[in-house]
Amino acid sequence: MSRDMSRKSALCLALSLLLMGQVLFIRWQEGREPWTQYQRRYFAAQKLSARQPQVVSLRLPGGKVELCLTCHLGIEEISPSHPIEEFGCTSCHGGNPLSLDVSEAHQGLAGGGNPAAFDVAGSTCGGPGPNGAPCHEGNPDPEDNLVARVKQSLMSTKAGEVGQARFALGLQPDPFAFLLGDLATAAQLPHPLDGRSQERPFRANCLGRCHLNAGAYGDSSRSYSGGCAACHYLYDPTGTYRGRDVTIPRNQKGHGAEHRLTSRIPYTQCNLCHNRGTHSLATMTFTFRQDLGATTPVLGQGRAPSWESRKQAYYIPQESYSKCEVSLDCIDCHTRHEVMGDPKDDNHPLTAKVEAQRIQCLDCHGTRSAPPASVTLTDPNDRVFKDPRLAELGLPPLAVGSVVGFTSRGDKLPFVRFVGTKVTLYSKVTGKAFPVPIVFGSGCEQSPEQQSADACHRCHDLSPNFQATSH
Ligand code: HEC
Ligand code: HEC
Ligand code: HEC
Ligand code: HEC
Ligand code: HEC
Ligand code: HEC
Ligand code: HEC
């Protein structure tokens, strides 16, 4: 072997050692990258021991590339109508899709992490979507434009509660909602109680929370999201995350149960704001219920809450209710126009809850003088056919010719089905079928003129405080 050759091979050896070192160094460095650690935690949690960390790059139809899934590997697809391969992550969340650094990737996240918050929902939920088409705003059919309308609803502004408080203090002649003018919410009113001493506690204990702008009710240990997410992004009563994304802390309160948008909204979600406690106008305080404890149902674990736990948690203890007002979920009665606003009201601000109200007891039960109203579906393009819950819940098909419920305010009830004189309600949350008992022709002793819930509750009240009346 010549000296030249041996020098060459020594050099070769040195070079390959260097290269190997470099590769090892990069591997070592990569192993310390947060994203590889998130992936290792995910693999461990899912028992995928053979998998090695790898950058995950999602290419969307328009050519845009996103690396978010590299860290958020286990995250649930937000919903079948927002498929991951079409929407990716940034079409809703914003952020920096090409960065693998936690804080750089999150720079400019819409709504500080909640893209459905009302300060940003106009451009996120409002669209346009990844393909440039309008989403929940800017469509030809006003029924599809939801953002501006929900932002103006009483649940968002709290104008109804201001009206009631002002009426109680003698500051306005009726309990109607206070007209807000150009203001977006009642919390922005400079003097909601005309400068009275109660103004400050009223603002802190009432206007500041439990509405769609503030997020749902949060106590010191929990907070829940606001905007469209307040209803559509489900929380369970523990307020913690149970999905598969390891970056989301599982033991920290204030997280949705899963990364999921749904319109199968259970009563527990509405009750993040409703039925949490009682207001006192005299002291301007809000007293949280003490009876919501261990028996509060936990949703989403394949277990439907029991009748007893529903009955306990559904309403504040002094409330009256009939069977269906507990066995059904809020949205089985309250229609989309009631919770998200009605295009018919677009040009006039609602002044009272009764104007928002769409449903009455008689819409399902009829009265002693008439059976409940119904309508036959005739338009093949009717939006009721497009409801994804019909398939998700495996309900009997809905078609042209089907007969469904119809409220006296003109809303269809496509989950209340009429076959001959038989009426069946299908739960929008579980799909369970409930035969609807009909008053017409029954032994019910109501007066057909007295159809308010209060009038019915005089005889039909299952609450423990019920005092039987003579009949
Ligand atoms: C390098 C890893 C990493 C990347 C890349 C990454 N994230 Fe995150 N993300 C995290 C971690 C960790 C958290 C948990 C909260 C935190 O530490 O900020 C998180 C939290 C979030 C949250 C909740 C924020 C909050 O305050 O509630 C959102 C929303 C989110 N990420 C979206 C995205 C989107 C969209 C992308 C891509 C543009 C992305 N993430 C890319 C690691 C990452
Ligand atoms: C259709 C819109 C939409 C899409 C698409 C979407 N998200 Fe979300 N995401 C939301 C909403 C709404 C929330 C709930 C925010 C809240 O309630 O605070 C959320 C919450 C989150 C959170 C916070 C969860 C928590 O409990 O802290 C993370 C992390 C997140 N998204 C990451 C992603 C990633 C990664 C992608 C892409 C794979 C993605 N999202 C796609 C709408 C979307
Ligand atoms: C107060 C609760 C609540 C809020 C806030 C809310 N929704 Fe809804 N949404 C519902 C309910 C309940 C349904 C189902 C209505 C039904 O059963 O007919 C629904 C249905 C929907 C549907 C299904 C299709 C349709 O048009 O009926 C879409 C889409 C939707 N909401 C989008 C939004 C958007 C976007 C926002 C925010 C601007 C929003 N929602 C805010 C309660 C809410
Ligand atoms: C983020 C808190 C919050 C959530 C979540 C919420 N609500 Fe409300 N809701 C309110 C407030 C506050 C009012 C009263 C506003 C006022 O009178 O000023 C209200 C009023 C109502 C009203 C009477 C007035 C109207 O606008 O129709 C109905 C009915 C109603 N809610 C049903 C529901 C249902 C059903 C759900 C679940 C799908 C729900 N709410 C979820 C806060 C909430
Ligand atoms: C069985 C049907 C049904 C169910 C279930 C139901 N409601 Fe109602 N709700 C009604 C009817 C009917 C009215 C109108 C009352 C009247 O006729 O006086 C009403 C009135 C209301 C009002 C306005 C009156 C008021 O007291 O301020 C609110 C707010 C409300 N419901 C919220 C809810 C919430 C939240 C849930 C679920 C926790 C729910 N409802 C469940 C049928 C129902
Ligand atoms: C959306 C349809 C719907 C509305 C609106 C509705 N109910 Fe019902 N109601 C039902 C169904 C379904 C049942 C059967 C519930 C069950 O089996 O758990 C029922 C059962 C009842 C019963 C029990 C009858 C018996 O056989 O014991 C009474 C009483 C009643 N409802 C009163 C009311 C009152 C009062 C209201 C107004 C506050 C109301 N309902 C609004 C659908 C409705
Ligand atoms: C003065 C008392 C009284 C009032 C008020 C009253 N009911 Fe009844 N209701 C009855 C009695 C009694 C029955 C028969 C119970 C039985 O047959 O076991 C009944 C039966 C019913 C049934 C069951 C029908 C069946 O076939 O099983 C429904 C549903 C019902 N009522 C709804 C209502 C509604 C809705 C209102 C309010 C508009 C109302 N009731 C007001 C006394 C009353």
Q: Find the 334 Cα to ligand 5 centroid distance in Å.
A: 7
Neighbours of 214 (CB within 10 A): 21
Identify which of 197, 200, 176, 173 has the alpha carbon closest to the alpha carbon of residue 189: 200
pLDDT recorded at residue 184: 87
Tokens of 208: 């500041």
Do the beta carbons of residue 360 and residue 369 sit within 8 Å? no
Tokens of 149: 């309308």
Task: Kindly report the protein residue whose alpha carbon is nearest to atom 36 of ligand 3.
Answer: 228
Give the nearest ligand 1 atom to 101 CA.
1
Residue spans of the chain under pLDDT 70: 1-6, 21, 23-31, 215-224, 293-303, 349-354, 467-471
Do the beta carbons of residue 151 and residue 172 sit within 8 Å? no
pLDDT recorded at residue 204: 87
Q: What is the DSSP letter of 153?
A: S
Q: Find the 362 Cα to ligand 7 centroid distance in Å.
A: 11
Q: Is the CB of 320 within 6 Å of ligand 5? A: no
Tokens of 417: 């089905």
Which residues share a beta bridge with 58?
66
Helix (H) or strand (E) holding 32: helix 3-32
Tokens of 447: 């007066």
Distance CA 286, CA 91 (A): 39
Q: How far is CA 128 from CA 109, 227, 254, 263, in A?
A: 17, 18, 29, 21
pLDDT recorded at residue 17: 73
Tokens of 416: 């209340």
The vertex-378 CA angle with 377 and 383, nearest 5°, equals 65
List % helix, strand, coil for the chain (3-state, nearest 5). Answer: 30, 10, 60
Which residues of 305-386 form beta strands (DSSP E)?
374-376
For residue 142, cis peptide bond before it (omega within 30 degrees of 0): no
Residue list, ligand 3 pocket, CB within 6 Å: 121, 125, 136, 146-147, 150, 155, 212, 228, 230-232, 263, 265, 331, 335-336, 339-340, 428
For 84-118, b/e burial (b = at least 16 CB within 10 A) is beebbbbbbbbbbbeebeeeebbeebbbeebbbbb
Q: Find the 232 Cα to ligand 3 centroid distance in Å.
A: 7
Residue 324 CA to its chain's centroid (Å): 22
Ligand nearest to the CA of 319: 5
Helices (H) and strands (E) in the chain, counts: 19, 9
Helix axes 3-32, 34-45, angle to 10 degrees: 70
Task: Kindly report the protein residue whose alpha carbon is nearest to atom 18 of ligand 7.
Answer: 443
Distance CA 228, CA 114 (A): 10
Helix (H) or strand (E) holding 148: helix 147-151
Q: Is the CB of 333 within 6 Å of ligand 6? A: yes
Residue list, ligand 7 pocket, CB within 6 Å: 361, 365, 437-439, 442-446, 451, 455-456, 458-460, 471
Q: Is the CB of 317 within 6 Å of ligand 1? A: no
The answer for residues whose C-beta is within 8 angstroms of residue 46's C-beta and 6 or more apart is 74, 244
Sign of the Cα pseudo-torsion (177, 179, 185, 188, in order): negative
Give the nearest ligand 1 atom to 115 CA.
29
Ligand nearest to the CA of 423: 6
pLDDT recorded at residue 302: 47
